[in-house]
Structure 1
Amino acid sequence: MKEVITPTSKSYKEYLISSLQDVEEAAAYLETFLESNEEGREPEVLRSALKDIIDSRLAANNLSETAKQKYQQLEQMLSENSGNHLYTLIEFLDALGYRIKLEVKDS
């Protein structure tokens, strides 16, 4: 595990965007929002987390057109149903004894 250094001169948002450029950090960050229990779910927070990851990729000039298009589709879906479809899938998998785990793809 990496040693965490608290930002001092940068704003938290700048620090977050910078740290999310590491694909392992981004995967762990997003996974925490997908694992939240029903009481802790806030669809706007999940949308914000996804936006943070998109912003970090844009800052690194590392976002494909396909990813941009898929993000726009996902953003529209999440805005229309507050992520209920996504959370229903996660709850269904949980009931079957599974959980969502994000892994970085091999390049």
Structure 2
Amino acid sequence: MATSDSYHPYLISHLKDPSHAALYIEAILEEEDPEPELLQIALGNVAEALCEHRMTSEQAKYHQEKLKEILSQRGSEAIYHLGTWLDALGLKLTVAVAEKADESSINLADESEITVSQ
């Protein structure tokens, strides 16, 4: 009988690179049929990977608990809180122009990317 290693340790080791972590979250957010549970799992994986060198174990545990609270919020407050949550991990929440942008879309800014920072 063949045995296999768990994918989780491999994933966490790669998510320790903030660039990989950002792309991982971006991929989840770009899903055509979004699943809120999948986003929570992905953000939890990123926190597990990045908290190790940035926080004590108590701070990391609190940070994971804060994620559940943030994702249960509704409206714009949740977005700002998520931006702050990501900032503690060395990441930022960014909005960019979609590749399939419709020409009839309203152009609100000359910039192709806007960053939410706290």
Superposition TM-score tier, normalisation by shorter sequence = 0.5 to 0.7
Return the offset for 1:35: 1.7
**1:20 aligns to 2:15 (yes or no):** yes
**1:45 aligns to 2:17 (yes or no):** no
CA deviation map 1:17-49 (0-9, x unaligned): 111011111110000111223xx1100000000
> In terms of Rg, which structure is larger?
2
Return the offset for 1:74: 3.6
C-alpha root-mean-square deviation of aligned residues, in Å?
4.0
What is the rounded CA distance, in whole Å, between the counterparts of 2:65 and 2:30 in structure 1? 23
Secondary structure of the structure 2 residue equivalent to 1:63: coil
Secondary structure of the structure 2 residue equivalent to 1:36: coil
The amino acid of 1:32's aligned partner reads A
What is the rounded CA distance, in whole Å, between the counterparts of 1:96 and 1:32 in structure 2? 25
* Larger strand share, 1 or 2: 2
What is the rounded CA distance, in whole Å, between the counterparts of 1:30 and 1:100 in structure 2? 17
The amino acid of 1:79's aligned partner reads S
The corresponding residue for 2:101 is: none
The amino acid of 1:20's aligned partner reads L
Structure 1 segments (4+ residues) deviating >6 Å: 97-102
Native 8 Å contact 2:12 2:46 kept in 1: yes
Q: Which has the higher contact order (CA 8 A, sep 6+)?
A: 1
CA deviation map 1:1-25 (0-9, x unaligned): xxxxxxx964101100111011111
Native 8 Å contact 2:18 2:50 kept in 1: no
Alignment size in residue pairs: 85
Native 8 Å contact 1:17 1:56 kept in 2: yes
Return the offset for 1:101: 8.6
Q: 2:72 aligns with which of 75, 79, 104?
A: 79
The corresponding residue for 1:62 is: 53
The TM-score, its normalising length taken from structure 2, stands at 0.50
The amino acid of 1:21's aligned partner reads K
Structure 2 gap segments, 5+ residues each: 80-96, 99-104
